[in-house]
């Protein structure tokens, strides 16, 4: 019986497929082994980092509070562990002050951890750039404020924020305009943390805005001005805030009302009163809030009137303001709640605020 044979070209094709399969298999095995080695190496680094952090956490109080020398408290820190130590120290940047913070800076500079800071500010990894920017503030490396300011244009938002945070906390007047311009470019949802950052410049930022921004334009700038004045409780901003009430733009006027309420100066009441009749609900809302913050008993009639406001948020703010006026305000709420002929919106709001105010 004759055994059939494959044509030569088919045999060669099978051999090629066999070798290709073996090559793919070898590649898969190599990838698995490589991945396992990388994971093992990563685990080893993490174990070393954790061990170092534990040892340093025990040594740090000895250095800070028992005044032990660096070498006695921490021993010898190897060159390969310096990056770990830099990250370890950065964890305490916002928790230490006074002499403790000065000793932390001495520790940082004494180990030469600032030597590579200029290079790390230009590092290809965004997280390294951000950490380096924070180190400039933490360890008061003011000679590097220029490169930090350059990071305000960084493509990674968290890097730019770190740079702005550093420049604000060090109150760098030279870079204040750049930080403020950066703040104006940020999205509205970041407003609260941006305002908190800008407040680190203090009233000097408000004076700079007053001296450089024309009163008739740049609504976004004046809105920021009013919100900053509210956060800083800056009495010197009072005349400017009153002027802002008269300029067009709901957002600017609302921010000015918020600031006037925060400043707590009762003399501004007559400037606030007209906004209870404003067409825009946000202005009525902020007028009510300002009256409550001022504890202005003269606002009683206006607050009772807008308990009937068609916008729930305005009614709610009026009820909160009346509650903040103490017993006179609570008596008014009780009277409205008990009046069967009162506006339904007003009665509902009065009962809601009384319910919330129960002990």
Residues 327 and 289 in one domain: yes
pLDDT value, residue 2: 56
- Range of the structural domain that residue 354 is part of: 267-359
Whether 55 maps to a domain, the answer reads no
pLDDT value, residue 359: 40
Whether 337 maps to a domain, the answer reads yes
Whether 229 maps to a domain, the answer reads yes
Whole-structure pTM value: 0.75
Residues 301 and 348 in one domain: yes
Residues 246 and 227 in one domain: yes
Whether 167 maps to a domain, the answer reads no
Number of domains in the chain: 2
Residues 286 and 253 in one domain: no
Q: What is the CATH number of the domain that holds 226?
A: 1.25.10
Binning the chain into helix, strand and coil, the percentages to the nearest 5 are: 80, 0, 20
| Local mean pLDDT, 10-residue blocks, the chain (359 residues) | 56 76 85 84 84 86 82 82 82 77 83 87 94 90 94 94 95 93 89 92 94 79 93 93 90 94 90 94 94 86 89 90 87 84 81 72
Q: What is the CATH number of the domain that holds 281?
A: 1.25.10.10
Whether 123 maps to a domain, the answer reads no
The domain boundary residue, chosen from 223, 246, 263: 263
pLDDT value, residue 4: 56
Residues 258 and 282 in one domain: no
Mind giving me the DSSP string for 260-317?
A: HHHHT-GGGHHHHGGGGG-SSHHHHHHHHHHHHHHT-GGGHHHHHHGGG-SSHHHHHH
pLDDT value, residue 44: 83
Residues 253 and 276 in one domain: no
Instruction: Report the alpha-carbon distance of residue 180 to residue 133 in Å, rounded.
Output: 18
b/e map of 88-127 (b: 16 or more CB within 10 Å)?
bbbeeeeebeeebbebbbebbeebebbeebeebbeeeebe
The domain boundary residue, chosen from 243, 263, 283: 263
90: which 2 tokens? Answer: 């950065």
Whether 153 maps to a domain, the answer reads no
Residues 317 and 330 in one domain: yes
Whether 321 maps to a domain, the answer reads yes
Whether 113 maps to a domain, the answer reads no
Residues 288 and 358 in one domain: yes
């Amino acid at each position: 019986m004759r055994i059939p044979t494959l044509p030569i070209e088919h045999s060669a094709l099978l051999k090629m497929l066999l070798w290709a399969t073996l090559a793919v298999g070898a590649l898969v095995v190599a990838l698995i082994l490589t991945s396992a080695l990388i994971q093992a190496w990563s685990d080893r680094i993490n174990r070393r980092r954790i061990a170092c952090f534990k040892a340093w956490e025990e040594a740090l109080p000895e250095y800070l509070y028992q005044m032990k020398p660096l070498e006695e408290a921490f021993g010898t820190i190897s060159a390969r562990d310096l990056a770990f130590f830099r990250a370890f120290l950065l964890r305490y940047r916002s928790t230490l002050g006074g002499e403790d913070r000065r000793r932390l800076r001495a520790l940082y500079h004494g180990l030469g951890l600032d030597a590579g800071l200029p290079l790390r500010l230009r590092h290809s990894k965004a997280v390294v750039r951000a950490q380096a920017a924070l180190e400039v503030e933490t360890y008061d490396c003011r000679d590097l404020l220029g490169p930090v300011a350059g990071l305000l244009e960084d493509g990674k938002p968290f890097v730019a924020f770190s740079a702005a945070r550093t420049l604000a906390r060090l109150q760098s007047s030279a870079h204040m305009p750049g930080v403020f311009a950066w703040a104006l470019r940020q999205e509205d949802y970041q407003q609260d943390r941006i305002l908190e950052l800008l407040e680190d410049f203090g009233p000097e930022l408000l004076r700079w805005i007053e001296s450089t921004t024309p009163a008739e334009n740049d609504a976004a700038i004046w809105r920021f001005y009013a919100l900053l004045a509210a956060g800083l409780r800056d009495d010197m901003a009072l005349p400017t805030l009153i002027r802002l009430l008269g300029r067009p733009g709901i957002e600017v006027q609302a921010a000015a009302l918020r600031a006037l309420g925060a400043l707590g100066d009762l003399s501004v009441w007559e400037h606030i009163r007209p906004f209870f009749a404003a067409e825009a609900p946000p202005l009525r809302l902020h007028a009510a809030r300002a009256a409550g913050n001022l504890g202005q008993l003269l606002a009683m009639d206006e607050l009772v009137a807008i308990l009937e406001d068609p916008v729930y948020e305005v009614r709610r703010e009026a009820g909160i303001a009346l509650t903040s006026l103490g017993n006179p305000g609570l008596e008014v709420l009780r009277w409205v709640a008990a009046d069967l002929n009162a506006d339904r919106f007003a009665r509902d709001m009065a009962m809601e605020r009384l319910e919330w105010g129960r002990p």
